[in-house]
Amino acid sequence: MDDRFNTIAGWALFSGVVALGLSSLSSHYFQADKPHRPHTMGFEIEGVVSSEGGAKEVPIETLLASADPAKGAAVFKKCTSCHTDNQGGANGIGPNLYGVVGEAIASPHRSFAFSDALKGVGGNWDFTKLNDWLHNPKKFAPGTKMTFAGLSNAEDRANLIVYLNTQGSNVPLPAAPAADAAAAPSGEASAAASGAPAAGASEAAAAASGEPAKK
């Protein structure tokens, strides 16, 4: 009787140990208890342009051609905590910006203590450089003291640059590349030209320019 009990208890104990061992072994082996992520997240699909990337592909020249300085004046409100743009306006946290379009980057005539980062860039504020700068100041001039995150919307930047150009610069706008004007459906293009929201046209252009991306 005793013997039988011990045998049964022994087997019960033994199978418990085996079960425990197996479960810990399998969880270890399959890492079922640890959520693990694949080494590369997702995968690239060729020929697909994200809206971010697509917006970037519309050349700034195209956006400038349909930009609206009145809308740019509204965008400039994001800058007025640090900048004035009137003739003879005072420097604030940032320099006065009157006539900045086409002018030398970090020009000494502004009597502003520019960072070495911006002084080191060299050249003039042409439309492309202003566009890159306002998109991401820290990327354009790493170490700049302009603590402004940047404007992610390309149309906002185009409107703003065209507005800034009216503040003492009046540099002729660059010609829009012909290929893109042709790529936009005529209805959309004329809407953009007449100053209507250019979103449709630029999206169409982005889609059109995105298509040949497949290799």
- The contact set with ligand HEC (CB under 6 A) reads 78-79, 81-83, 93-95, 97, 100, 105-107, 110, 114-115, 117-118, 134, 144-148, 151, 160
User: Smallest gap, in angstroms, from Cβ of residue 111 to ligand HEC?
Assistant: 11
- Complex with ligand HEC: residue 67 or 160, whichever CB lies closer: 160
Nearer to ligand HEC (CB atom), residue 157 or residue 206: 157
Helices (H), the chain: 2-30, 51-57, 60-65, 69-75, 116-119, 127-135, 137-140, 154-166, 178-183, 186-193, 199-210
Eight-class DSSP state of 124: B
Other beta carbons within 10 Å of 21: 10
Least separation in angstroms between residue 206's CB and ligand HEC is 23
**How far is it, in rounded angstroms, from Cα 107 to Cα 58?**
30
Task: Identify which of residues 62 and 157 has a Cβ nearer to ligand HEC in the complex.
Answer: 157
Q: Least Å distance between CB 172 and ligand HEC? A: 19
Contacts of 39 (CB under 8 A, 6+ apart): none
Name residue 104's beta-bridge partners: 124
In the complex, minimum distance from the CB of residue 63 to ligand HEC, in angstroms, rounded to a whole number? 16
Other CB atoms within 10 Å distance of the CB of residue 191? 18
In the complex with ligand HEC, the residue whose CB is nearer, 98 or 180, is 98
Q: What share of the chain is helix, strand, coil (3-state, %, to 5)?
A: 55, 0, 45
Measure the CA–CA gap between 87 and 148, rounded to whole angstroms: 23
Nearer to ligand HEC, 158 or 191 (CB): 158
Minimum distance, C-beta of residue 45 to ligand HEC, in the bound complex (Å): 34
